[in-house]
Structure 1
Amino acid sequence: MVKFLKITAAIVILLLLFYFVFFKYRQIQANKILIPATTQTLFKINVDELYKTLAVSYLKHPSQYAGTDKNSIREKIADLNSGLRIPANIYIYALKGTAKNTLFTRLEIADTSAFNHFILKKLALLKKDAHFFESADSTFGLLVNKKTVSIAFNMAKEPIRHILEEIHDQNNMVKISDSKFAQMASLSDHLSFQDAENLSKINFTDGKIDFSSEFENKWIEPAAEPRHRMLNPESTLSFWLNGKIKSDLTEKNHTMSLSLLSKDSFFRFYQDYVDFEWTKTVTQVDTIVGYEYNDDFEQVEKKILRDRKIPSITINLNSDDKAVSNYLKSLGALDQSTGKISSAMIPLYQFYFRGSNGNVQLSTIKSAKPDVKRASSDDFFYFKVDFKKLINQTSIPLIADKLGTFSQLEIKAKSIGKNKIKLESELLFLNKDANALMQVLKVFQNGFKSALDLNLSVDIPVSK
C-alpha cells in the first residue's frame, strides 16, 4: 500500500512538473513575439491563464458546465475549429497613423484546410484575391499564406491592406521585450491593455470579475487625506467623491439653469465633497390637481392625495449653504416653510433642502438630518450598487433582463502619485460557482451565440 502511494505521488509530481514546464515554455515562446514599432495601444489575451482558470472551475463545479442538448462539448468545440494555432498569449495592437478603433494581430495557421473552411463558411468572408479576404462591409480583413494570417478589425473602413502586408512580412517590427510595452509580457492577468496613459487588467474567476487600471488623472484633484460620511453598507446604491474638479472642466461663465443637479449648477456650488445614497423604497404622498364641475356647472379645482413608492435618496454636498439657499429663493424654487424644492429644479421626485455649516443636503425624506461626521479613507472615490435591491426597487424590464445575473458592483479610486490614479473594481455574480467569463457569455448569448450551452443556476431571460 505504501509503495502504491509513493508511485501515485511520484506520478502526480511528474504530471505537475510537466504541466508547469509546458505552460512556461508556451509563455516564453509567446513573449518572443514581434509587434509593429508604431504600436500605440496593445491588448493582451492570456489564453493559457484563461484555460487554467476555466479548467479548475470545471473540476470544482462540473454541473455548471453540463450541456442540455445531445451534442457533447467536444463536438461543439470541433464545430468551431478555426484551424489556427492558438498561442499562450494573443497580442492585438492599434498603430500610429491609423484610426483609433482599427486593430491588428498576426497568428499562425495549424490546419490550412480547416482555416479556409472557417473563413469562407463560418465567417462568410469574401475572397478578394489569392491571399486577401474581407467581410462584405469591409470591417474585417485577412491576409493569409500557408503558415500565417494577419488580421485587421477595421471599424473605420480605411484602407488597411498595405499595413497587413507590413505585419505579414514582419517589416518594421520590434520584440515586445524591447518595446515600451515590455511589462505586458510578464503580466499573468487574463486580459490586459496599455497605451501611453493607461495600464488596465481584467481577471475572471468563479462568480467574480476583477478590474484594475492605472491612468493619468485629468479631471480630479484628490483630497490629500480623503474623508467621507459613513454611508449605510446595506444601501441599494451609494458613492462619494472627495476632491476638487480641475478648473479646465468647469465653465467660468455659468448660465442660469432650471435644474439644481445640472452641470452648471453643480460646478457653481460644489467645493470638494459630494456623496449620494439610495437606502430603500419609501412612500411619498403626492398632490394631484384636477378639475371638476360643481352643481352650477362651474369648473372648480380638486386636489387628490396619492401614495407613490419612491427611492429614499440623500445627497450631501460641501458647499456654501447660504449661497445655495439664496439661489433657490431667487428662482422661486424653494418653499422656505417646508424646505420643498420645486419639481422644475429637480424633476421626478420631491426633494427637500437643508443647509448648515457649509453642508447642503437634498433628500426625498423630509425628516432627514445632515450628518457631517467623516471617516478617513485611502480612497477619494467610492461607488457601490446592489443589483438585487436595484431590481426589486425598480420596475424597468431592461434592468432585470440584463443585470439580473449580477449581485454587486464596487469601484474604488485612489491617488498613487502626481496626476496618477489607481482604480479597482469588483463585479460579483449571483451564481458564485460558474466562471464569470462564461456567465457574461450567457448574458449576451443572443449577440454572439455562446459556444457552450451552460447550465447556470441563475437563468436569465433573453428578450426576443
Structure 2
Amino acid sequence: MNKKKIIVPLVLLLVIAVYFVGFHKNKNLRYIPENADAVVLIDIKKVTGQYLFGLVTHPSHWSGSKAKGKSSGSLKDSGIRIPDFLQIFHIKDTKFSEWYSVLEIKDSQKLIAFLKKQNFVDKGNNRFQKDQFFIIINGGHCIAGTSDLAFETIQKNLLKASSNSVLDADQFIHNTTGSISFISGEKIQNFSIELHDDEIEIKNNSNPGILDALASKLQKGNHFMEIELDKESIKNLSHFFNKSIADSSQAIYFKATADLEQVNDTIISYEYDDNFNEIEKKTFQKITQPNYTLDIKSDDPDKTWAYLQSEKWINSRNQFTAIPFQPNQVSQNIDGIIIQSSGKPIALSPRLQENYIFIRNSSLLYSSLKTLSASEKRIISDIDYVLYGNKSQDYWVKIKAKNGELPLILRW
C-alpha cells in the first residue's frame, strides 16, 4: 500500500482533532439569567493555550507545576464539565459583591470529594462553603457564588430547560482571554480582559497609549493612593454604590491623596490583685492606618454639607464617619468640602486634569490583611499597582504586576 495514501488521511485527522480540541468552541451560553445586568466570560481554551505556551517556554517551572498540581488537585478531576466559556454573572438589584456561575456536573461524588480536598465545609443539603465562596449541588448542575442569597432564585428560574434563553458568546467576547459586559435592556457594553506576561488589562478600546502615559506620570510619585475624578466620572462610579450620591451631593470634582503609616496602638485592660484592687494594664500593638486628604468641589457647598449630614456621614464633632479609620475632620469652604485625617494630614498631589484611581502596592497593606491566606498574600504582594482611568467614553483598568521570571499565568 502506498504510504502517502495512509499518511495524508492521518495528518488530516490530526489537524481536525487539534482544531476541535484546541480551537473549536461551543459558543452557546445557557446559564445567564434574563435579569443579569453584568456578565464575565472567560475563554477557557484560550487561557489553557496561554498556560501551555508559558509552560513550554519556561521549562524551569515544569517540576514545580507538577508538584503543585498533585497537592492542590486538578479541575479536570473535580467532576465538573469544563465549559469552553466560563459564565459568571451579576443579578440586577443585588449587592455589587454578589457574583454567580452555573456549571454542569459529570460526577457529583467526585465533586464533593474535590470540595472537601479544597477545605470547603459541608453545610448540609448539598451546600458547601469556604470563606466567601458558596456552592450548592442541584442534580446535574452546581451553582457557585460569592454569596448564597440568590441560590433559590437561580435554581427556580435558570435550571428549568423551558425558561433558558441561549445567548451567543460573540455578543460579549471577541478573541480575548475574557470579557466583562454590562447589560441595560437591549444594550450591551463590552470590555475586553487581556492577560499579558506581567499585567491584566480591562478596556473598551484598542488604544492603550493614553493610559500608558497616565501610568508613567503617576509612577513618578510615591503616594499609596491618588484619585482625581470629574463630575461625569463621579456619576458613573457612584452607580456601583448609590445612584443618588452624585446628583444629591452636587459634587463636580473629587481629589484624594493617601499614604499608609504603621503606628503603635495602645490597648488598655484591667486586672485584679489578690485584694480585688483594680490594676490598669497597657499593651501595645502595631497597626497600619492611612493618612489622607479628600477634596470635594461642589456647585453648592451648603447643599453638599446638608446632604452629608442627612446621610449621617458628618457627626456633631465634624467627623466624616463614612471613612471607617482613625478620627478625621471635615470642614466646608467656598469651593466645597475638605476631609483630612487627624493623625498626619498630607498635601494633595498635583492636579493632572485626568480621571483616574491609582493604588500603589505597599508592604504595609498586605502585611496588615490578617484574614488572607498565604497564597492570597503572595498574589497581592506581587502586584505593583492598580490603575483605573477614563477619557470620554474610553475606560481602562490595569493591574500591573512586578517584573518576574515567569508570566502571570504561571505565577498566580
**Please, what TM-score do these two structures have when normalized by structure 2?**
0.54
Q: Provide the rounded CA distance (Å) in 2 between the counterparts of 1:211 and 1:189.
A: 10
Pairs within 5 Å for 1:269-418: 271-278=251-258, 313-319=292-298, 345=319, 348=326, 358=335, 375-377=352-354, 380=355, 382-388=356-362, 390-391=364-365, 402=377, 403-416=380-393
Alignment correspondent of 1:448: none
Aligned counterpart in structure 2 of residue 35 of structure 1, from 19, 30, 34 = 30
Q: Provide the rounded CA distance (Å) in 2 between the counterparts of 1:35 and 1:76.
A: 29
Is 1:88 matched up with 2:79? no
In terms of Rg, which structure is larger? 1
Partner amino acid for 1:241? Answer: L
Identity %, equivalent residues: 14
Distance 1:439 1:351, change over 3 A: farther
Partner amino acid for 2:256? Answer: F
- The Cα shift of 1:140 comes to 1.8
Maintained 8 Å contact 2:363/2:381 = no
Alignment correspondent of 1:61: 58
Distance 1:65 1:241, change over 3 A: farther
Q: Which runs of 5+ in 1 are unaligned?
A: 1-13, 110-114, 125-132, 144-148, 215-229, 253-266, 284-308, 328-341, 417-421, 441-464
Q: Provide the rounded CA distance (Å) in 2 between the counterparts of 1:317 and 1:206.
A: 38
Aligned counterpart in structure 1 of residue 402 of structure 2, from 427, 430, 437 = 430
Aligned counterpart in structure 2 of residue 119 of structure 1, from 86, 98, 111 = 111
Maintained 8 Å contact 1:236/1:278 = yes
Higher relative contact order structure (alpha carbons within 8 Å, sequence separation ≥ 6):
1
Q: Provide the rounded CA distance (Å) in 2 between the counterparts of 1:160 and 1:236.
A: 40
**1:123-162: CA deviation from partner (whole Å, max 9, x where unpaired):** 57xxxxxxxx97156952243xxxxx44444834528777
Distance 1:34 1:61, change over 3 A: closer
Q: Provide the rounded CA distance (Å) in 2 between the counterparts of 1:90 and 1:395.
A: 33
Q: Provide the rounded CA distance (Å) in 1 between the counterparts of 2:368 and 2:159.
A: 53
- The Cα shift of 1:43 comes to 4.2
Q: Provide the rounded CA distance (Å) in 2 between the counterparts of 1:84 and 1:400.
A: 25
Alignment correspondent of 2:209: none
Maintained 8 Å contact 1:206/1:433 = no
Partner amino acid for 1:238? Answer: E
Q: Describe the SS at the equivalent of 1:57.
A: helix
Alignment correspondent of 1:141: 137
- The Cα shift of 1:407 comes to 2.0
**1:429-453: CA deviation from partner (whole Å, max 9, x where unpaired):** 336344435555xxxxxxxxxxxxx
Q: Provide the rounded CA distance (Å) in 2 between the counterparts of 1:383 and 1:375.
A: 12
Q: Provide the rounded CA distance (Å) in 2 between the counterparts of 1:34 and 1:282.
A: 48
**1:75-104: CA deviation from partner (whole Å, max 9, x where unpaired):** 9766962466645334466899x9986643
Q: Provide the rounded CA distance (Å) in 1 between the counterparts of 2:200 and 2:261.
A: 29
- The Cα shift of 1:61 comes to 3.5
Distance 1:428 1:43, change over 3 A: closer
Partner amino acid for 1:424? Answer: W
Q: Provide the rounded CA distance (Å) in 2 between the counterparts of 1:185 and 1:311.
A: 39
Q: Provide the rounded CA distance (Å) in 2 between the counterparts of 1:345 and 1:82.
A: 51
Is 1:158 matched up with 2:137? no
- The Cα shift of 1:233 comes to 2.7
Maintained 8 Å contact 2:261/2:289 = yes
Partner amino acid for 2:152? Answer: E
- The Cα shift of 1:241 comes to 1.3
- The Cα shift of 1:238 comes to 0.6
Pairs within 5 Å for 1:182-331: 182-184=170-172, 186-196=174-184, 199-212=190-203, 233-243=221-231, 248-249=244-245, 267=249, 271-278=251-258, 313-319=292-298
Q: Provide the rounded CA distance (Å) in 1 between the counterparts of 2:70 and 2:370.
A: 36
- The Cα shift of 1:213 comes to 6.6
Q: Describe the SS at the equivalent of 1:211.
A: strand
Q: Provide the rounded CA distance (Å) in 2 between the counterparts of 1:400 and 1:159.
A: 32
Distance 1:281 1:428, change over 3 A: same
Partner amino acid for 2:85? Answer: N
Q: Provide the rounded CA distance (Å) in 1 between the counterparts of 2:373 and 2:405.
A: 21
**1:285-315: CA deviation from partner (whole Å, max 9, x where unpaired):** xxxxxxxxxxxxxxxxxxxxxxxx9866444
Q: Provide the rounded CA distance (Å) in 2 between the counterparts of 1:162 and 1:354.
A: 52
Maintained 8 Å contact 1:352/1:363 = yes
Q: Describe the SS at the equivalent of 1:235.
A: coil
The aligned length equals: 317
Distance 1:142 1:191, change over 3 A: farther
Alignment correspondent of 2:213: none
Maintained 8 Å contact 1:39/1:94 = no
Q: Describe the SS at the equivalent of 1:119.
A: helix
Q: Provide the rounded CA distance (Å) in 1 between the counterparts of 2:151 and 2:76.
A: 27
Distance 1:39 1:182, change over 3 A: farther
Q: Describe the SS at the equivalent of 2:111.
A: helix
Maintained 8 Å contact 2:100/2:143 = yes
Distance 1:282 1:322, change over 3 A: farther
Q: Describe the SS at the equivalent of 2:152.
A: coil
Distance 1:363 1:345, change over 3 A: closer
Q: Describe the SS at the equivalent of 1:186.
A: coil
Q: Describe the SS at the equivalent of 2:53.
A: helix
Maintained 8 Å contact 2:224/2:360 = yes
**1:202-256: CA deviation from partner (whole Å, max 9, x where unpaired):** 3333332323479xxxxxxxxxxxxxxx97633221111111666943686xxxx
